[in-house]
Amino acid sequence: VESAADLAGLDKDDLKELGLSMVERSKVLNWVRRLQASEGAANLPERKLSDVSDSMDTGNVTLTPLHVRQYSDFGQNMLDGNFGVPCDRTASTDEEELAIQHLDDVESRAEFWCRLVTNTGTSYLRSDIEQVEDALRRANEGSGNVQLSDLRENVIEKLFDLSPERLKEVYESIDRDSDGRILKEELREGLHRCELHGLDGALEKVLSVVSRGHGSLQLVEFESVLTRLKLAQLLSTPKLKEVTATEALTVIDYNGLKVEERRLSLRDYFFGHRMKEFPMRWAHLRLFDLSLLLALTVKYQLHPLSVEDVVDQAPTKLDRYEGHYFASIEHLEVAGPANGNQPVKVRGRHITLFCAGQPHLDTVITVAQADRSFKQDWPGEVDVSGGQVDAWVGRLQKRLRAVRSRVRERRADFLMYEIIDLCADDLRHVTRVYTARLNWLEDGFTKGRITSEQGKLDWFNEVGLIRLQLAVVGRRLRGLQRILRRLADDPDVSAVLTGYLQDVADHVNEAYEDAGHLAEKCRNMSEAYEHFEDRAQDKIHRENAQVATLQDERMNKMLFVLTILTTIFTPLTFVAGIYGMNFQDMQGHPTIPELVWPDGYRCFWMVTVVYLVVASCGGIYLWRRVRKAKRKDARRLATGSGVVTSGGSFSVVTS
């Protein structure tokens, strides 16, 4: 792109490929139309951009010839698999290029900025941060009710809101004459508004160093002063002074040809700039640290609402701010065996990511931390054995380092897509493991491998627990569905991502349907178990009833026999009682005449034997009559009603 005609030949997709936002594209196209209207389309080929006396001012976007050529190289090299080097600032003259180089050098002077804040003291800032860190520590330990509702107002927005819109608002409010430059007094006011106090004696030095003796600052220079002072406040403490970035951060720079993991001190990372040969960067905060998160907020000018969502661990969602994308994902991953032979163990992590780096979206920042709400949301035992290990990080690094990696050949929004894709894959894996586990439980139940009563109870409880856990998995999948819909509807997302996003959406939808199907399967298995238990209980009740009936019949027989014997021997007892009485007259003779019979004793036994024979015959006759009557009743019942026998038990159904 060398002439206005070349620029006029570009459509919106071409300008998007060059890294311009939707608003910037509109302004550039409006400028081309105005140029065509004023000079005529026929004159555009002869009008070189390098001959234009001033830059193409398109409102808030200043597009110079050098700027266009750099972006053109960036877009073409990206198609070739070798990224170009888009500059952070643009210049149309050698003087402006020297000013940009000088400002980059000043920003990299970590000792200069840290010495400034060390001499003025930063105890008030450290006190605020330490209070929040203590609250977060207690929240992670689960001790007490931790309130973080005022974090954004009292800490993030008050001390670290350096978003582009906020800086522009402050700069315009202190630039009283609106000439685009601020003097010493205006700089003091701006620093005070951003809660930077005690630097009044060092303002002359700051102005001299940053502006190269001009005594005034432009917006971009004011931005550099604020960001470097805030970074110095955060990184000048003994806690972070000697810490290397690799202890908490994984910093990977890459281009279309290679990947390089940077091993820097925190000061070199936050104050310095990446190598020009690596236009893309991924910074992963492995161990959550509020000071480092705030330092990332300042360096990349992240929006305070998104930073608050990181600390508060917002639910799964996607937000678009002026300078970056923000995504929060409630992540689930399998923490134990995946073959289904053992209960499923799931670990919950909270992942947040930023796609930042104006204006090209050339930086992805990820923060991984333990999900504080997972213990309350997740039914059953929570697995904490994995610690701070995130398997998706290793898989993403493997994709980055692959030969001719597509991730390296595209912008940072493609890396953002890859992270979302990895999280979706983990959730799909969770549903697959639950499928294997339920199949194993169902197979064991149907084949009778579970025999003990305790084993059956454990089986039933696990099926019910899995159903509750699948409800949580379904909620996490719905959150990913919302993220994918937001990305698909965003006009500034690369067109190449459309097919990839649709593919991930299909996988997430499939996993969501599988989770619903498995939950329904759990319900059916529970109902089948309850039905089986009801049948088993009914069988036990029938068996108990049969045993009780047999016992009753045996008791009745015993009582019947005893009754007959009692009936037989009661008369003999009565006779024996009478003749056993010793009644006598006055002379001492027995008054019962039979007692004085010579053969009275023999007669007694003869009568007794005859009586016993007759009574026994009568009892036997009566017993047979009763037995015969029962058999007749049974036959009458069999002919008048249905008798159903099954497995030694029976039930009577009245006709």
State residue 72's pLDDT score: 38
Residues 237 and 116 reside in one and the same domain: yes
- Nearest Cα to 574, choosing from 606, 611, 610? 611
- The most confident of the ranges 49-63, 132-146, 270-284 is 270-284
Residues 134 and 244 reside in one and the same domain: yes
Average pLDDT of span 258-263? 89
Match 């890859």 to its residue by tokens: 418
Tokens representing 112 are 């200069």
DSSP assignment of 75-119, as one string? HHHHHTT------SS--SSHHHHHHHHHHHHHHT-HHHHHHHHHH
Residues 127 and 9 reside in one and the same domain: no
The interaxial angle of helices 219-235 and 203-211, nearest 10 deg, is 120
Q: Are 83 and 74 in contact (CB under 8 A)?
A: yes
Residues 147 and 296 reside in one and the same domain: yes
Residue 286 has pLDDT above 60, yes or no: yes
SS3 string of 557-586? HHHHHHHHHHHHHHHHHHHHHHHCCCCECC
Tokens representing 71 are 């972006």
* 537: phi then psi, degrees, rounded to nearest 5: -65, -40
Residues 296 and 153 reside in one and the same domain: yes
- Confirm whether 243 is domain-assigned: yes
- Going from the C-alpha of 68 to that of each of 6, 86, 91, 169, 361, the distances in angstroms are 10, 10, 11, 28, 17
Residues 211 and 125 reside in one and the same domain: yes
* 240: phi then psi, degrees, rounded to nearest 5: -115, 0
Residue 263: pLDDT band with limits 50, 70, 90:
confident
State residue 576's pLDDT score: 82
- Confirm whether 160 is domain-assigned: yes
183-204: pLDDT as tens digits = 889 988 998 888 888 888 888 8
- Going from the C-alpha of 206 to that of each of 113, 159, 194, 211, 334, the distances in angstroms are 9, 20, 16, 8, 53
In this prediction, what percent of the chain has a pLDDT beyond 70?
Answer: 76
pTM above 0.85, yes or no: no
CATH code: domain of residue 212: 1.10.238.10
DSSP assignment of 341-390, as one string? SS---EEEEEEEEEEE-TTTT-EEEEEEEE-TTHHHHS-SPPP-TTTT--
- Nearest Cα to 315, choosing from 264, 350, 263, 363? 350
Residues 9 and 119 reside in one and the same domain: no
Match 């005529």 to its residue by tokens: 40
Q: Are 210 and 225 in contact (CB under 8 A)?
A: yes
Residue 70: pLDDT band with limits 50, 70, 90:
very low
Residues 113 and 250 reside in one and the same domain: yes
Q: Are 510 and 477 in contact (CB under 8 A)?
A: no
Asked which of 246, 276, 303 is the last residue of a domain, the reply is 303
Residue 504: pLDDT band with limits 50, 70, 90:
very high
State residue 252's pLDDT score: 92
SS3 string of 158-201? HHHCCCHHHHHHHHHHHCCCCCCCECHHHHHHHHHHCCCCCCHH
Residues 29 and 114 reside in one and the same domain: no
Average pLDDT of span 143-152? 57
Average pLDDT of span 57-73? 40
3-state class percentages of the chain: helix first, strand second, coil last, to nearest 5? 60, 10, 30
Residue 256 has pLDDT above 60, yes or no: yes
- Confirm whether 125 is domain-assigned: yes
CA distance 208 to 13: 43
Residue 243: pLDDT band with limits 50, 70, 90:
low
Residues 19 and 120 reside in one and the same domain: no
Residue 644 has pLDDT above 50, yes or no: no
Split into its structural domains, the chain has a count of 2
- Confirm whether 653 is domain-assigned: no
User: What DSSP designation does 3 have?
Assistant: B
Q: Are 266 and 244 in contact (CB under 8 A)?
A: yes
State residue 67's pLDDT score: 39
CA 89 to chain CA centroid, Å, is 39
Q: 466 or 22: which carries more pLDDT confidence?
A: 466
State residue 326's pLDDT score: 94
- Confirm whether 372 is domain-assigned: no
- Nearest Cα to 239, choosing from 186, 297, 295? 295
Q: From its phi and psi, is residue 459 left (phi > 0), alpha (psi between -120 and 50) or beta?
A: alpha
Residue 172 has pLDDT above 60, yes or no: yes
557-593: pLDDT as tens digits = 888 888 888 888 888 888 888 877 778 777 778 777 8
Residue 94 has pLDDT above 70, yes or no: no
Residue 91 has pLDDT above 50, yes or no: no
- The most confident of the ranges 66-70, 281-285, 409-413, 590-594 is 281-285
604-627: pLDDT as tens digits = 888 888 888 888 888 888 888 888
- Nearest Cα to 469, choosing from 349, 351, 377, 340? 377
Q: 377 or 651: which carries more pLDDT confidence?
A: 377
Q: Are strands 649-653 and 642-646 parallel, antiparallel or unpaired?
A: antiparallel
Residue 23: pLDDT band with limits 50, 70, 90:
low
State residue 559's pLDDT score: 87
Residues 228 and 123 reside in one and the same domain: yes
Residue 393 has, within 13 A of its CA and on its CB side, a CA count of: 22
Residue 320 has, within 13 A of its CA and on its CB side, a CA count of: 12
Q: 274 or 7: which carries more pLDDT confidence?
A: 274
State residue 648's pLDDT score: 40
Average pLDDT of span 21-49? 58
Residue 502: pLDDT band with limits 50, 70, 90:
very high
CA distance 434 to 453: 24
- Confirm whether 50 is domain-assigned: no
Residue 480: pLDDT band with limits 50, 70, 90:
very high
Q: 416 or 568: which carries more pLDDT confidence?
A: 416
State residue 484's pLDDT score: 93
CA distance 313 to 529: 40
- Confirm whether 519 is domain-assigned: no
CA distance 45 to 163: 40
Residues 245 and 144 reside in one and the same domain: yes
CA distance 122 to 475: 43
Task: Compute the mean pLDDT over every residue in the chain, rounded to the nearest whole number.
Answer: 79
CA 392 to chain CA centroid, Å, is 14
Asked which of 278, 303, 328 is the last residue of a domain, the reply is 303
Residues of the domain holding 295 = 109-262+291-303
Rounded to 5°, angle at Cα 166 from 160 and 29: 135
Which range (36-50, 333-347, 626-640) has the least confidence? 36-50
Residue 383: pLDDT band with limits 50, 70, 90:
low
- Going from the C-alpha of 313 to that of each of 185, 220, 263, 305, 380, the distances in angstroms are 40, 33, 29, 12, 22
- Confirm whether 88 is domain-assigned: no
State residue 24's pLDDT score: 65
Residue 307 has pLDDT above 60, yes or no: yes
- Going from the C-alpha of 110 to that of each of 190, 211, 231, 293, the distances in angstroms are 22, 17, 9, 18
- Going from the C-alpha of 38 to that of each of 12, 31, 44, 46, 48, the distances in angstroms are 22, 11, 10, 14, 15
